[in-house]
Amino acid sequence: MSRLESHLADFSIRGLDLIDPEVLTQAARALMTTERENIAAFDEKRLTEIIDLYVRTGIQVHSPGYMGRQFSGVVPLAGVIDFVSSVVNQPSSFYEAGQLPSVAERLMAEELNRFIGWEAESFAMVTTSGGSLANLTALLAARNKMFPDFWSGGSPVSDGQPRPAVAVGADVHYSISRAAGILGIGEAQIVRLPLNEAQQIAIDQVGPTLEEAERRGLKVFCLVASAGTTSVGAFDPLDELGDLAREKGIWLHVDGAHGASLLVSDRLRGKLKGIEKADSLAWDAHKMMFVPAPCTLLFYRNGQDSLGAFQQRASYVFDEEPDRYTELDSGGVNFECTKRPMIMPLWTLWSVYGRALFAEKIEYLCDLTEEIHRIVLDEPDFESVHQPEANIMCFRYRPADIRDEDVHRVQVAIRNRIKIQGNFFISKVNIDGVAALRVVMMNHEITAEHFRMLLGEIRRIGRDLLDGGK
Ligand SMILES: Cc1ncc(COP(=O)(O)O)c(C=O)c1O
């Protein structure tokens, strides 16, 4: 505890202490007891060294130097409850194994659904170990609804019937293509919807693209929209997509892994205008709700739909005679059998501090991102790639003397050098085939001043690269 206390009190600017895996393996091996026959005597020094090594080798998510990924600088109290979960070990797929977690899921679902706006009596929520699994689960439910025989009979392809397909924004997270593979849909049946300038699904092209897919013998059962794309944080036009999906009888799944949290802010909720028209929504609390990973909530507008994702019988867990104690069991509607009581840190923070804690942090991070975007626009040797919509921003180092053919290579090299230098941690993404530097504002210790320091470091590295350093 005292080690963690000093870790959290350290606000110095740092990214990642990247260590050669062989060197780290050696260091870790040296911490393993050589005692083979008997239980080794407890060695406090060894334990302290393991904790220190663990803390030191992580991306420093609480430091102002951390600007690179979407996992949170966790609110420390959430970590305390996660620690309690690890000690009491109450897996949460079945009420009898995790009573409070099961009730907390129900309460948290009610709280968050107030911002989605679905009928309190008919919506459902399931927690899943990550957004990827939530996306897979929602696609399964959607597929089984339109193709009820697929689960037992397999793909209808051989019957010469229309082939099941999903339509997605061209910039959708890779977990969706992966889900299509797992579902037996096949990559070739993923219909990619073109994007507009703001990297959102271009609404005027959705209808024609779906009609073209139909002519090719595809039956689109699910349209996946993003509320905060991974690369630039773009929000698809949910309101219009909701109308279109309903008109065509297609399930609308919203991947809000990153951006659904904006719903809790009165000021930012409008980014998800029309969310109530969706059939399902994936929401990662381990991103912008500042709790430890994983903690994902998968919402269904119609709770009955959640029952369609899986169809197993197992008398050792699924009770044949349900009673009031099995009502909250979620084992039948989530993939996991043993599942972490992941709701506990979120529900506890919500219970102790209330909604405003989340709203204020989210608003701060989105405002900060707007501010750093203005900074980039003012710097003649930097290029803005998009107008940020949330807390993700992509940009390039692009001084007047850089040749077009070098732009990609230089961004990649800058990102790698920054990672190795370890003062800051940022990421990189290709936009229209050319690399861009990507920052994600995930902890409220970061200020615009820290971003200016990052730009200084990028400029120094970039100049060195262009002047022949490499
Ligand atoms: C838009 C989006 N969807 C899904 C995911 C996958 O979520 P997870 O990492 O929780 O599996 C991510 C992760 O970054 C994401 O940004």
Minimal-distance CA residue to ligand 1 atom 16: 230
DSSP state of 227: B
The H or E element containing residue 429 is strand 427-431
Residues 6+ apart with CB under 8 A from 31: 46, 49, 50, 53
Distance CA 337, CA 67 (A): 35
DSSP 251-271: EEEEE-TTTGGGGG-TTTGGG
Measured from the Cα of 228, ligand 1's closest atom is 1
Distance 237 CA to ligand 1 centre (A): 19
> What is the reported pLDDT for 119?
97
> What is the reported pLDDT for 244?
98
> What is the reported pLDDT for 470?
54
> What is the reported pLDDT for 315?
72
Distance 401 CA to ligand 1 centre (A): 37
Distance 257 CA to ligand 1 centre (A): 5
The domain limits of the chain are 87-353, 356-469
Distance CA 157, CA 164 (A): 8
DSSP state of 375: H
Measured from the Cα of 130, ligand 1's closest atom is 10
CA dihedral 7, 12, 13, 18 (to 10 degrees): -40
User: Per this entry, what is the length of the chain?
Assistant: 470
Question: Among 406, 462, 464, 402, which residue's Cα sits nearest to residue 435?
Answer: 406
User: Do residues 239 and 273 touch, judged by C-beta distance below 8 A?
Assistant: yes
Residue 358: strand, helix, or coil: helix
10 Å CB burial of residue 470 (0-12, 13-18, 19+) is: exposed
When computed from its CA atoms, the radius of gyration of the chain, rounded to whole angstroms, is 24
Measured from the Cα of 256, ligand 1's closest atom is 1
* Ligand 1, residues at Cβ distance < 6 Å: 70, 130-132, 173, 175, 226, 228-230, 255, 257-258, 284, 294, 296
The sign one gets for the Cα dihedral 221, 336, 257, 260 is: positive
Distance CA 252, CA 237 (A): 12
Give the Cα-Cα-Cα angle 209, 215, 218 (nearest 5 degrees): 80
Question: Among 269, 164, 263, 175, which residue's Cα sits nearest to residue 220?
Answer: 164
Amino acid identity at 165? A
> What is the reported pLDDT for 469?
61
- What is the C-alpha end-to-end distance of the chain, expressed in Å? 44
Class for the domain spanning 356-469: alpha beta
Tell me the pLDDT tens digit for each residue of 21-67: 999 999 999 999 999 999 999 999 999 999 999 999 999 999 999 99
Measured from the Cα of 294, ligand 1's closest atom is 10
Distance 33 CA to ligand 1 centre (A): 38
| Lookup: tokens for 47 | 């334990």
Residues 6+ apart with CB under 8 A from 354: none
Domain at 87-353: CATH architecture: 3-Layer(aba) Sandwich (3.40)
Question: Among 134, 121, 85, 16, which residue's Cα sits nearest to residue 342?
Answer: 85
Distance CA 245, CA 240 (A): 9
> What is the reported pLDDT for 417?
97
Distance 371 CA to ligand 1 centre (A): 25
Distance CA 105, CA 92 (A): 9
> What is the reported pLDDT for 158?
66
10 Å CB burial of residue 5 (0-12, 13-18, 19+) is: exposed
Amino acid identity at 338? T
> What is the reported pLDDT for 156?
76
Residues lower than pLDDT 70 in the chain: 157-159, 316-317, 469-470
User: Do residues 195 and 168 touch, judged by C-beta distance below 8 A?
Assistant: no
| Lookup: tokens for 87 | 């000690």
Residues 6+ apart with CB under 8 A from 206: 167, 193, 223, 241, 244
Q: Which of 284, 291, 298, 346 is the pocket-test mutation for ligand 1 (most atoms within 8 Å of CB)?
A: 284
User: Do residues 141 and 166 touch, judged by C-beta distance below 8 A?
Assistant: no
Give the Cα-Cα-Cα angle 62, 84, 346 (nearest 5 degrees): 55
